[in-house]
Amino acid sequence: MKILVTGANGYLGHGIVKTILDAGIEVIANDFRVDSIDKRAKIIAGNIFEVENPYDYFEQPDILLHLAWRDGFVHYSNAHINDLPNHFIFIKRMVESGCKQIAVMGSMHEIGFFEGSINENTPCRPTTPYGIGKNALRDLTQMLCKQNTTIFQWLRGYYIVGNSEYGSSIFSKITSAVKDGKTEFPFTLGQNQYDFIDYPDFCKQVAAVVCQKQEQGIFNICSGRPEKLADRVERFIKENNYNIKLQYGAFPDRPYDSKAIWGDSTKIEKVLNNKK
């Protein structure tokens, strides 16, 4: 088994690549920069959108794990729409050249404003360019895979805690503030409830999905339970022994954030249990 991982140097990529390699599976890793990628992988730097025949260029991988995506933490960035045709063309070239399994990183922001537990049949009504771009790519990838009898796996990611020196999440921002010597951090009231998953568990779930073929479709990469943002952030501060306090109410909640939203973990738990 040979897996091509795009975006391999990113916040998600380098942990996922390591987890797959630890399972004894060959990885071809691609990104613009490659300094954080596990050296056990075969590393090929460059722009995937500029490769005319990526399937042959990346040595005919059995599986594509497409993590590459710009400005994932900037939900209103124009890149989410501007890059969409390039993502589609890249995946189309991989599918039509013979790659038999396509797994792509999605986001719970595809759903839009929703309260409750999300499963693979929950309707999507995204409200930001990020959610709209991911939702469109999911529909297009599913169409391509259906047309070519290719295995389709969509990895709908939730809120990740950990690996905080990288990324731009609130946990990363708190880590950065502590390193800068700050003792207070401006915060919302923190009453909204989200599905938080620790970084190692996230990587483990992604690797488990792509390294099997039986379960297909949409997977929630999640913990399966809601937790108040304030509770998880306070716990994060305590876990890391940070000397910093939250300034509650300094910022309003984002208007497009749900009050309580979490993933149904039934399908991913089935995959994990089958690997035991």
* Per-residue pLDDT reduced to its tens digit, 71-92: 988 999 999 999 999 999 999 9
**Which residue ranges of the chain lie beneath pLDDT 50?**
none
The upper half-sphere exposure of residue 247, i.e. CA atoms within 13 Å in the direction of its Cβ, equals 9
Q: Give yes or no: 55 in active site.
A: no
Question: Domain map of the chain by residue range?
Answer: 2-160+196-225+263-274, 162-193+226-247
Copy the structure tokens of residue 79: 């890149």
Q: How far apart are CA 96 and CA 61, in angstroms?
A: 13
Closest-CA residue to 196 (of 261, 248, 249):
261
pTM: 0.93
Q: How far apart are CA 246 and CA 52, in angstroms?
A: 50
Which of helix, strand or coil describes residue 245? Answer: strand
CATH architecture of 2-160+196-225+263-274: 3-Layer(aba) Sandwich (3.40)
For residue 35, give Cα distances in angstroms to 4, 40, 105, 114, 173: 17, 13, 22, 38, 22
The rounded percent of the chain whose pLDDT value lies above 90 is 91
Contact at 8 Å (CB) between 48 and 6?
yes
* Per-residue pLDDT reduced to its tens digit, 224-268: 999 999 999 999 999 999 999 999 999 888 777 788 999 999 999
The single residue of 11, 55, 130, 166 carrying the catalytic annotation is 130
Residue 276: predicted pLDDT: 63
Question: What integer best gives the mean pLDDT of the chain?
Answer: 95
The rounded percent of the chain whose pLDDT value lies above 70 is 99
Contact at 8 Å (CB) between 245 and 185?
yes
Alpha carbon of residue 159 to chain centroid: 9
